[in-house]
Amino acid sequence: MGKQFTLTASDSFKLGAYRAEPSGPAKGGIVVIQEIFGVNHHIRTVCDRLAGEGYAAVAPALFDRQQPNFESGYSPDEIANARKFVANPDWAAMMRDVQAAIDVLKKDGPVAIIGFCMGGTIAFLAAAKLNGLSAAIGYYGGQIAKNANEKPKVPTQLHFGEKDASIPMSDVETIKQKCGRDCEIYVYPDAQHGFNCDERGSYNEAAAKVAWRRSIAFLQTNMKR
């Protein structure tokens, strides 16, 4: 359904991206932000699903500055290798690359952002720092608690798994205390990190379905032309 193309960031860096188009006129545009595994099959599938919901979806390849065209699966070795990209993340560079994706979608109407894992944190930061968004959704963003003093400028929805080994419930409580007035926050019982991805061992079908339904309803509410 989708195609590869090139984005140009404000510092003139060119990065790859995947774009999926709806079958009819777009309801708006959605930036889809990757996990640490690159713009892989799962992220492209998310773009395709959003296109099926009527949105133009773009997933920028945020690791292109370090290793062009990187994508990974979910085996233990692949997970260990992918973690090198976030050992010392350049958040400012990623924000520039995300802004380029936002800007290219503006012609399609209102623009939202949705991110997973690392991308969940980026979606939260984008809601606070970037321009041109109407809504933001973050799934299991591990660094949101550390950045919870940031205030989203647009409606923001966050999803967490109760059994997430990398995001303790104490972090979620911090986020609720600091961001509860600015964000819708949902916690899914028995769900682990990565519960939305049906290619991971931690996939939780029940949680994924509820979270997706909430996400689509949130987009419909906050992306009206």
pLDDT interval class at 225 (50, 70, 90): confident
**pLDDT one-digit tens code per residue, 107-146:** 999 999 999 999 999 999 999 999 999 999 999 999 999 9
What token pair was written down for 192? 């682990």
Residue type (1 letter), 12: S
The model carries a pTM of 0.98
- Residue 116 sits at φ, ψ, to 5 deg, of -130, 135
**pLDDT one-digit tens code per residue, 172-193:** 999 999 998 889 999 999 999 9
* Residues with Cβ within 8 Å of residue 16, at least 6 apart in sequence: 4, 5, 6, 7, 39, 60, 61, 64, 68, 69
Count of domains for the chain: 1
Residues with active-site annotation = 117, 164, 193
At 47, which CATH number? 3.40.50.1820
Give the structural domain span for 46: 2-222
Tell me the mean pLDDT in the region 92-109. 98
**pLDDT one-digit tens code per residue, 34-62:** 999 999 999 999 999 999 999 999 999 99
Structure confidence at residue 163 (pLDDT): 98
Structure confidence at residue 123 (pLDDT): 98
**Within a 10 A sphere around the Cβ of 146, how many other Cβ atoms?**
11
